[in-house]
Homo-oligomer: A and B are copies of this chain.
């Protein structure tokens, strides 16, 4: 099993200053620039000296998620038994599998056995909760879960089902075994991405930015108007343009496996109730939601905070932002998201072990 990763900052003497940053669906480990890779990362403004994840204090690690296609084993990897890509012979994966692999990797690679904090948004926020639930307070000191949930709800499952359908019904998908062929399901991937973008970003910002403005005929981006059903509005051109590169950049089978793992996420599974499953999380937890998020609506973050508190966790902080960017607010709102994350991670700063002791768990 291979794990792709990047890191920022230095490990301290007793290896207790690690922050595990968990990624969302289709993301990679390049969360911020570094000497090795100077391109801006997806959380560039949140990671660095003095920033939300302060690299003067913490050793920040971000891995590719299990099932992904950016360095960690996934369906596009070569199956050593056959010498061919796994494709859809790759086994089903869960969010628990993802975090177990990350924790094993940190212990084997860096002798890190206890995290200062697990941090993530969306699928990353599912993972940060799962780290605490699966490994307990001995192994993780704090949790930050942004725009995530403790249990997938039917509308989010429905949206991901429709997205997967776009991919698996593209004739070029070939039941996943497209790798060694001339074909690639870029058409289905693009539609799936368009649906994704609608669920990540639609809302007040679009209303402000695009209204129902039509395309300047001379300057429109992307597809020609040929069919008469193509882009006439700025919002259509934006979606078309924005999804174009993604359609060939990310592995379609990775989307399928990871999206299914998100559907299956349920911290109550195997317990008497969701509340009971969440009682495994005994460490200080920051839960952050955004009112304009339609994929992970705020009622889901409220639920996490409420059930944790009812279960006896006395160190739960709940923030609800009225930002206009929907689910993707965590990528954009440095001031509010970054401020809350930094405050939670650095509050009464001590090592994870001391934190555990101090919290009286």
Contacts and interface: CB of A to CB of B under 8 A. Distances in A.
This chain: how many copies in the complex? 2
B294 A235 contact: no
Interface in A69-101: 88, 92
Contacts of A231: 161
Contacts of A233: 154, 157, 161, 263
Interface in A207-224: 207, 209-212
A234 B262 CA distance: 16
Interface string A184-225: 000110110011001000110011011110000000000000
A130 to B, nearest CB: 16
A227 interface: yes
Interface string A163-191: 01110110100010000000000011011
A48 to B, nearest CB: 34
Contact of A202 (B152, B154, B212): B154
A229 B154 contact: no
Given A212-B151, A212-B152, A169 B191 contact: yes
Interface residues of A, number: 50
Contacts of A187: 169
Interface in A123-166: 151-155, 157-159, 161-162, 164-166
Contact of A195 (B162, B175, B229): B162
Contacts of A202: 154-155, 158
Contacts of A211: 153-154
A315 to B, nearest CB: 28
Contacts of A166: 166, 191
Nearest to A206: B154
B162 A206 contact: no
A238 B191 CA distance: 22
A227 B175 contact: yes
A88 B165 contact: no
Given A168-B229, A228-B88, A229-B164, A236 B158 contact: yes
Given A169-B187, A228-B260, 10 more contacts: A153-B212, A154-B202, A155-B202, A155-B206, A158-B202, A161-B239, A162-B191, A166-B166, A191-B191, A294-B294
